[in-house]
């Protein structure tokens, strides 16, 4: 009888050890998953810094070109320059930094710059912040396309009212007619200084889930 009891106890002990062995990998796997989930799959801070530098440099290049054209050809030259060269300039700067540089808005001038779902969501968030008079900060996130995107607000400066203010007021009638000739479906007017004109959408090509 004692021998039977001893054998039974041994079997129970061995079964318990085997169950512990099976549970241990599951517990370790669970811990590994939690650790992986807690660790970002890319460096938000680094991409934010890169995005801010690229956006700042791109704005400086655009501004210097526009000022040079304005000094020689006036506002008509600026309208023509933006129509003919804005995308080319953004594309060439994007190749230098291995990114895709896009400017988009909730009130488009060029229909080709329509926001994708990711940009549209960021625009909507910024517009809510503007309504509440809350500061807008750059955003870095992984897009549905698998790429890391940097988003930042573009605030309208006073000198930009000549092309984006109110027609007949800040925008001279002749310039507005030229704008409508270049962009028949233009919606990018009626802004005030400091308004959200649109956003930067900078897509980094060096990292993607493909």
Quote the CA–CA distance of 164 and 161 in Å, as a whole number: 5
Number of domains in the chain: 1
Residue 90: name the closest of 61, 120, 50, 48 by CA: 61
In a domain, 82, yes or no: yes
In a domain, 58, yes or no: yes
Say what the pLDDT of residue 37 is. 45
In a domain, 110, yes or no: yes
- What's the pTM value of the predicted model, to 2 decimals? 0.79
Q: Is 74 exposed, middle or buried (0-12, 13-18, 19+ CB in 10 A)?
A: exposed
In a domain, 1, yes or no: no
In a domain, 164, yes or no: yes
In a domain, 29, yes or no: no
Look up the domain containing 62 and give its range.
Answer: 44-208
In a domain, 4, yes or no: no
Q: What distance, in Å, lies between the first and last C-alpha atoms of the chain?
A: 66
In a domain, 5, yes or no: no
10-residue mean pLDDT profile of the chain (210 residues): values are 43 44 51 49 92 97 96 97 96 97 97 96 98 96 95 96 96 97 97 98 80
């Amino acid at each position: 009888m004692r021998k039977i009891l001893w054998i039974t106890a041994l079997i129970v002990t061995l079964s318990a050890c085997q169950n512990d062995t099976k549970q241990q990998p599951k517990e370790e796997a669970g811990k590994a998953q939690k650790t992986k989930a807690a660790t970002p799959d890319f460096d938000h801070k680094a991409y934010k810094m890169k995005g801010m530098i690229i956006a700042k440099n791109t704005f400086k290049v655009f501004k210097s070109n526009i000022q040079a054209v304005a000094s020689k050809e006036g506002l008509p030259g600026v309208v023509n320059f933006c129509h003919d060269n804005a995308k080319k300039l953004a594309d060439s700067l994007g190749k230098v930094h291995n990114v895709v540089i896009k400017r988009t808005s909730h009130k488009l001038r060029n229909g080709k710059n329509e926001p994708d779902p990711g940009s549209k969501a960021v625009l909507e968030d910024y517009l809510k912040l503007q309504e509440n008079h809350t500061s807008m900060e750059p955003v870095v996130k992984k897009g549905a396309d698998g790429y890391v995107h940097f988003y930042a607000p573009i605030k309208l400066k006073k000198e930009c009212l000549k092309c984006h203010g109110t027609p007949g007021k800040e925008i001279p009638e002749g310039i507005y007619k030229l704008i409508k000739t270049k962009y028949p479906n233009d919606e990018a007017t009626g802004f005030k200084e400091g308004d959200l004109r649109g956003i930067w959408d900078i897509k980094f090509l060096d990292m993607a889930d493909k």
